Amino acid sequence: MSKDGSISASVIKRLPRYYRFLGELENKKVERISSRELSELMKLTASQIRQDLNCFGGFGQQGYGYHVSELRKEIGKILGVDKRFRTILIGAGNLGKAIASHINFESRGCVLEAIFDANPKLTGETVGDLPIRPTDEIERFCLERKPVVAVLCIPKAATQEIADKLVELGIKAFWNFSHYDLSIDHDNIVVENVHLGDSLLTLTYGANNLTE
């Protein structure tokens, strides 16, 4: 942890993965784990793990290891999984529908409350138990329900304009799946860009550089 109490970005980036592995251990009724065992599981070095986890208070005890549930609970609190950030999803094409139905938002601190799509043919169709609403209802919904997280599953061309409008309507956090690097010229807004195409290209590079 740095002097002002903040945790470095590189540690933060690894926290969701720690949280996930600790959840799996908890499901397997593992009560405690040493940094060495955790390092083998997560393919990190034991010293990296000790260094990361020491960032937020020495949970590990010499000769005892980490208490799985306690450590997971603590990391969850840091991540904000106990929050209930109101969330909307825009763009109910194949990907939007998959995200809405496949991702467990609530276990990650977000509550998906509404799904919007510009295509009037989709209005009234449901995804899970949420009806798809027309995009011209976004404004009223935001004024009434004050969501803070928006999931963008819309075409590249529309992304920046919609994002700017959503910022005006109070959205603070964007989970962006469009093929577009969203960047918001406002302070105090967070963006997580997911580029599935880039991920596939990284794999293609790997496949292309395997030895025969």
Residues that bind a second copy (CB under 8 A): 12-13, 15-17, 19-21, 42-43, 78-81, 83, 85, 93-95, 97-99, 101-105, 108-110, 148-149, 172-175, 179, 181, 183, 188-190, 192, 194-211
Residue 98 CB, shortest distance to a second copy, in Å, is: 4
CB-nearer residue toward a second copy: 62 or 94: 94
Structure tokens at 122: 């989709």
**CB-facing half-sphere around the CA of 89: CA atoms within 13 A:** 27
Least spacing, CB of residue 26 vs a second copy, in Å: 14
CA contacts within 13 A on the Cβ side of 15:
23
In the complex, the smallest distance separating the C-beta of residue 19 from a second copy, rounded to whole angstroms, is: 7
> For a second copy, which is the closer residue by CB, 143 or 196?
196
Q: Min. distance of Cβ 132 from a second copy in angstroms?
A: 15
Specify the residue, 66 or 105, whose C-beta has the smaller distance to a second copy. Answer: 105
Residue 200's Cα: distance from chain center in Å?
19
Q: Which of 85, 97, 96 is nearest to 170 (CA)?
A: 85
d(CA 101, CA 16): 20
Q: For residues 42 and 158, which CB has a smaller minimum distance to a second copy in the complex?
A: 42
Question: Whole-number minimum distance, CB 64 to a second copy, in Å?
Answer: 26
Q: Which residues pair with 86 in a beta bridge?
A: 111
Judged by beta carbon, residue 46 or residue 103, the one nearer a second copy is 103
Angle, in degrees to the nearest 10, between helices 46-54 and 35-42: 110
| Residue that the structure tokens 């549930």 belong to | 69
Q: Which helix (H) or strand (E) holds 112?
A: strand 110-117
